[in-house]
Structure 1
Amino acid sequence: MFAAIDIIAAPFVLAATETAEDEGLNPLVRVVPGLMIWTLLAFVVAMLVLRKYAWPQITRILDARQTQIEDSIDAAERTRQEADQLLAEYRERLAEARAQADEIVAKAERAGEVAEREAIDAAKVKREDLLEQTRRDIQAETQAAIQEIRREVADLTVAATEKVTRKTLSAEDQKRLVEEALSELDFSALSGDRRN
C-alpha cells in the first residue's frame, strides 16, 4: 500500500528536489505548489485506501482484542468469586469439623468420667461384698473353732474329773461339770464379740 503511494509520489518528489536545488533553497522550506497538490492528493488517496481496507481490519482486530480482554477480566472475576465462595465453604466446613471434633472429645471425656465413676462404684460394691463375705467366713470359722474348743474343754473336764475322783461319772454329772466349766470360760473373747 505504501509502495503504491511511493510510486505515485516519486516523480513529484524528484521534480521538487531538482527545482529546489536550482534555486539554492532547502526543498523542505520552499513551497512548491505542484508538489503540494500532488502530496495532498497522494495523502487523500492513501487515507481513502487505508479507510476502505486497513481501518476495518484494524478496528475489527482491536475490537476482538478488547472483547477478549474483557472476557478474560470477566472470567478472572468469576474465578475469583468462585474461589472466594469455595474458600468460605471450606472455612465453614472446617469450623463444622472442628465443632464436631470438640463435641466428640467432650463426649469421650464425659463417657470416660462416667465409666470411671461406674468402675469405682462397682469396685466399692465388690470390695464391700468381699469384706462382708470375709466377715461371714471369719464368723463361721470362729464359731466352729469355739464349738471345737467347747468339745475339747468338755472332754478334758470330764477326763480330769474322772482322774481326780477316780471314778466314772454318770452322764448327768458329766453334763453338770461341763456346763460349770464352760460357764467359767469367756468364749466371747475368742469370737471377737467382747464389748469394752
Structure 2
Amino acid sequence: MAIRERGMTLIEILVAMSLMAILSVLGYKAFSSLLIARERLVSLSDEWVGLARVMRRVESDVGRLTRENTGKDSAGPALQLQSENGKQHLQLAGYSSKSPEGRELRHYLADDSGLQWSAALAGLDREILPQRLLDATSRTRFSVMLADGNESESWPLADGGGLDARALVMSVTLAGGQRVRRVWSLP
C-alpha cells in the first residue's frame, strides 16, 4: 500500500492568505492610529512647553521690574499698558547699568497675529530684534489688577483713579479653547 503525501489544497491556502491580510490591515490601522496619537501628543506638548517659556519670560521681566525698579528714580512709569483696536502694548521698565538713562525697556505686543517681544536700552537707538513668542492660533490679553480687585486693560489709568496696580495678569486662550491665566505680583 502506497502512502500518499498530502499537501495543502488551494482553498486552505486562500483561507490562510485571507486571514493574514485581515490581520495585516488591523495591525496597520492600529499602528497608524498610534502614530496619529503620538503626533497629536507631541504637538500639544510643544504648545504647552512654548507657553511655559513665554510665561517664564514675562515672569523674568516682571521680576526685574520688581527687584530693580523698587526705590530707584525713573524717567517714567515702570509698567505701561495700552489697549487700542484689538492690540495691546505692554511695556516694562527696569534698571540697567548698560543704558545711559539707567533703564531697559521690555515691550510686548499682543494682537491678532500672536504675541511679540522686544527689548531696548533707554537713550540708545538700538533695539533687540522682535521675537514672535506665540502665533496667531492663540490669543493673549494683559490686564492690571487694581487695589480694589478690579482689572484694567490700561495703565496708568487715564483719570489717575487713585488706585495702585497690585498685579499683572496674563490670559492666553490656546487653539483648543483652553484658557490659561497667570498673575504676577507688582511692587
The normalised TM-score by structure 2 is 0.40
Give 1 or 2 for the bigger CA radius of gyration: 1
Which structure has greater helix proportion? 1
